[in-house]
Structure 1
Amino acid sequence: MQLDWIDDILAVIDTGSLTRAAERRFLTQSAFTRRVRSIEERIGSPLFDRSCKPVTILPGVRAMEPELREMSTRLRRLQHDLKVSVDGGGRGVTFVCQHAITTTISPWIVKRLTKPQDVSVRVRSGNRDNCLMLLLSREADFAITYECPGDPGPFMPRAFDSNIMGEDFLVPVTSPGLMASFEGMKVPTITYPPDVFLGRIMAQCILPSLPEGMVLAPKAETALTLAACEYALGGIGLAWLPMTLVRRHLENKELVHIDHLPEQKLNITLIRLSDQQSDENIRIWEHLTTPLDTPGPS
């Protein structure tokens, strides 16, 4: 499927007629009609209902509009990336970051690579398992995730190399106004789903270490730390959040660190596939794993 074909089909969907689609595509109607027939011959199936006037696109083709638009976007991005790769000597790299890291750590990564290294950086975001799957499918060159010290690390450990870049801490915070509203040991809390990384950290490391008799009363659940942070700022409940995310709010006294409650150290880990790497990616790996200016929570 060629990009021009997709754009021709979408032009008909958007304009509602072959005539207006031809104008959008800067072709005469006869030239556009010939091109549409050529597409149908190559695909081996009609795309349009020619029994009515004006010609209309078949329902089955219209149903595929979301896929066609997505493919158009992806092909244009690939086209752009190939041009950038050629023009820039191939100096482009894709990172996928755990959601909680994308906002706080990835700016440091981008700054460190784009200035002295002159590398074009694309950053994608996903949960921890998605990050590793994007590495395996080679849709990303590197992943940056949290790891809990003592954990065995990524599944399929032989498939990956990992290196600790720095550290962060999952800390309990709440709004100043909410502290006064805690009733006894029952504390309104913002929680994480049990099947996400921070949900597992809460279950394995935080909950068993709570003061005896303390009960967390869930008020909201989200997998996104940015959302949990906004909920905490809004006075909805207590939340365990990365220090790199809340440090500014603590300094501005918008949040309060509840230092008598348990917290958890998290390693910020750079991961790559362990098989053969390009020279460029090896240089990036070595540059990022040097112990200089790592983005810890200090």
Structure 2
Amino acid sequence: MQTLVGDVCLRVNAGNLHDSLDTLLSGQGDFLLCYHSPEIFPQLEQDDILNLQVGADQLIPVSAADQDGHPIHAPVPGAALKLLAYPQESFFGRLLQRDCFSRISPAIQFNIVCENALVEGLKAMALAANGVAWLPARVIEQELQQGTLVSIRDRLPSLDMKIMLYRKRAPRLKEIDVFWDYFKAQASV
């Protein structure tokens, strides 16, 4: 990055999405990198906000695997499925409620055994065989390849997601345009 803009301090704030959105909209931050949902965050669809798709991901239902590579937790009609859930007011909680759980048969019941807004927390609980969690595929690539987690998206729905970069149309600093042009060039590769 130094070759692009010289000695500029790049500070990353990995806060929760609501706070990060407020930081961008208030002008205290220059970029917001996040999963996309115009229904959940319509503020990002304003004319003074630019956006760029920089990636894609899927939110997939997974379970720890038994010694034969089969899911320890899988839906069975009439039996409650242990669920490692996001809080309903969190981004993933709202997304799953709106776009996923509504597509699941009423015959499949869930028993929430853990609620955590952090993906890594639910991932750890899933690896410990505590239940089913919907996790971003990019976060669990290694565990899926190793077979410690197995996808059960053949039995429960998954969600396609865009990874977006946002910025204000009128940047605070000229270097923001340089970064933006760089990200645009990288996204088109």
SS class of match (1:198) = helix
Q: Distance in 1 between matches of 2:118 and 2:3?
A: 30
Q: Which amino acid aligns with 1:121?
A: L
Match of 1:123 in 2: 12
247, 250, 271: which one aligns with 2:166: 271
Ranges in structure 1 where 5+ consecutive residues have no aligned partner: 1-112
Deviation at 1:277, TM superposition (A): 4.4
Count of equivalent residues:
181
Q: Distance in 2 between matches of 1:249 and 1:116?
A: 36
Verify the 8 A CA contact 2:83 2:112 in the aligned structure 1. yes
Deviation at 1:169, TM superposition (A): 0.7
Verify the 8 A CA contact 2:171 2:177 in the aligned structure 1. no
Greater helix content: 1
Deviation at 1:127, TM superposition (A): 2.1
Q: Which amino acid aligns with 1:133?
A: D
TM-score by length of 2: 0.84
Q: Distance in 2 between matches of 1:176 and 1:218?
A: 19
Distance 1:114 1:192, change over 3 A: farther
Verify the 8 A CA contact 2:74 2:132 in the aligned structure 1. no
Larger Rg: 1
Distance 1:239 1:115, change over 3 A: farther
Q: Distance in 2 between matches of 1:251 and 1:117?
A: 39
Verify the 8 A CA contact 1:154 1:160 in the aligned structure 2. no
Which structure ranks higher in relative contact order (CA pairs < 8 Å, sequence separation ≥ 6)? 2
- 1:190 and 2:79 correspond: no
153, 174, 180: which one aligns with 1:259: 153
Distance 1:293 1:217, change over 3 A: farther
Match of 2:183 in 1: 288
Identity fraction in percent: 24
SS class of match (2:13) = strand
Q: Distance in 2 between matches of 1:207 and 1:134?
A: 31
Distance 1:214 1:117, change over 3 A: farther
Distance 1:129 1:159, change over 3 A: farther
Match of 1:199 in 2: 93
Q: Which amino acid aligns with 2:43?
A: F
Q: Distance in 2 between matches of 1:285 and 1:146?
A: 18
Verify the 8 A CA contact 1:127 1:196 in the aligned structure 2. no
Deviation at 1:211, TM superposition (A): 3.4
Q: Deviations over 1:259-287 (max 9, x none)?
A: 21101111111111122443211010111
92, 96, 109: which one aligns with 1:215: 109
SS class of match (1:174) = strand
Ranges in structure 2 where 5+ consecutive residues have no aligned partner: none
Verify the 8 A CA contact 2:73 2:82 in the aligned structure 1. no
Match of 2:49 in 1: 160
Verify the 8 A CA contact 1:114 1:121 in the aligned structure 2. no
Greater strand content: 2
Q: Distance in 1 between matches of 2:27 and 2:87?
A: 28
Verify the 8 A CA contact 1:114 1:120 in the aligned structure 2. no
Match of 2:136 in 1: 242
Match of 1:79 in 2: none
TM-score by length of 1: 0.55
- 1:138 and 2:33 correspond: no
Verify the 8 A CA contact 2:119 2:135 in the aligned structure 1. yes
CA RMSD between the two structures:
2.5
Match of 2:126 in 1: 232
Q: Distance in 1 between matches of 2:3 and 2:122?
A: 32
Distance 1:184 1:114, change over 3 A: farther
Distance 1:164 1:183, change over 3 A: closer
Deviation at 1:182, TM superposition (A): 4.8
Q: Distance in 2 between matches of 1:210 and 1:183?
A: 10
SS class of match (2:130) = coil
